[in-house]
Amino acid sequence: MRRRLPVLLSLVLAAIAALTLTATAGAAVVTKTISYGPFTIPAGAGDPHDHHSMGEVPNRQIDNIAKPCTNCSIVGARPALVYADGSSANLDTGPMLHHAVFSAKGKGKADATCGGAERFFASGNERTPLDVSGLPYGYGVGKADSWSLLIELMNWATEAKTVSMQVTWTYATGTDATSRKPIRPTWHGSDVCGLAEFAAPFGFSDTHFDSTAPLSGAVISTIGHVHDHGVSVETTNETRGTSICTSTAATGETPGYVTPDGRRHVSSLTQCTADPVARVARGDLLQVHATYNVPAGHHAVEDAMGIMILYVNPS
């Protein structure tokens, strides 16, 4: 019997190691790039600064689009607008990604702010990525979930441009996915249940938009959005007297964001990502401050936006 104990112990340890290896092997973080489209944007009038004269693909919704995975957890999304050869399509050559909004329908998928399908990721032409891969959170994707894309594209060039929306999705699988805590997006700012636009006055301005927090929990990450001449967008918790996040705009950081007339366009906004960035309670009064600086002599900015998405781990 004594001679058998070491053998039995070795067998037990080997079995445990095999089970552990199997569980670990089932977990991975994967990236997958998916193209949506193509879309042909009509020719514009040649003025890169006049939205009204641009060719346009107005709000177009495409249902049942491709998902990168099922029974997984999205931990990152990097948007792009590209030509057929894969090169970047941007304002230097005509096209502008006015907005792209991804939404999901399925079990537990309902927009916490406005109802309907859950808008879980969005991008303007600055193409801000989402990245929570270094934190124990993710946005779950069920097998039966269906995704939709709402997209609007513009083009100032005097010839039509054919482009595709491209997103590089990063997602966790297996035990990595199931061990992550959920995040849900809440939307705040200018008319976020409608066209999301407002008129920015000339000079420096700070326009406020109030909303109530629809969820209680920890804010894990943010995505802010402004248009040209936007300086920043900040979300404050008026109930608690605290600032949640300020996203500051930068312009013309790469050649794609500088048009032939030498004007620099919004190319990025800073983000807040932490565990946590802040905490909110359902019913807290949240206020979005959209700051713009429209120069004298410029045409009116009637389609300004000031939006912030808060990714919240509900509690």
Q: What is the DSSP string of 127-182?
A: ---EE-TTTTEEEEE-TT-EEEEEEEEEE-SSS-EEEEEEEEEEEEEHHHHHHSEE
Q: Is residue 1 part of a domain?
A: no
Q: Is residue 23 part of a domain?
A: no
Closest by alpha carbon to 46, among 155, 147, 188? Answer: 155
Q: What pLDDT is attached to residue 8?
A: 38
pLDDT at position 186: 98
Contact 92, 233 (CB under 8 A): no
- Residue 299 or residue 1, greater confidence: 299
Answer yes or no: is 9 within a domain. Answer: no
Quick one: pLDDT band at residue 143, thresholds 50, 70, 90?
very high
Nearest Cα residue to 235 out of 265, 267, 269: 269
Asked whether residue 22 is domain-assigned, the answer is no
In a domain, 208, yes or no: yes
**pLDDT more than 90, % of the chain:** 88
Residues 6+ apart with CB under 8 A from 270: 224, 246, 247, 248
Q: Is residue 288 part of a domain?
A: yes
Which has the minimum average pLDDT: 43-52, 247-256, 283-292? Answer: 43-52
Residue 74 lies in a domain: yes
Given a cut of 80, whether residue 18 has pLDDT beyond it is no
Yes or no: say if 268 and 250 are a contact pair by the CB < 8 Å rule.
Answer: yes
Q: How many CB atoms lie within 10 A of CB 276?
A: 18
Residue 236 belongs to a domain = yes
Which three-class secondary structure state does DSSP give residue 118? strand
* Confidence (pLDDT) at 297: 83
Element (H, E) at 120: strand 118-123
Range of the domain at 216: 28-314
Q: Is 37 helix (H, G, I), strand (E, B) or coil?
A: strand
Number of domain units in the chain: 1
Question: pLDDT value at position 74?
Answer: 98
pLDDT of residue 27: 80
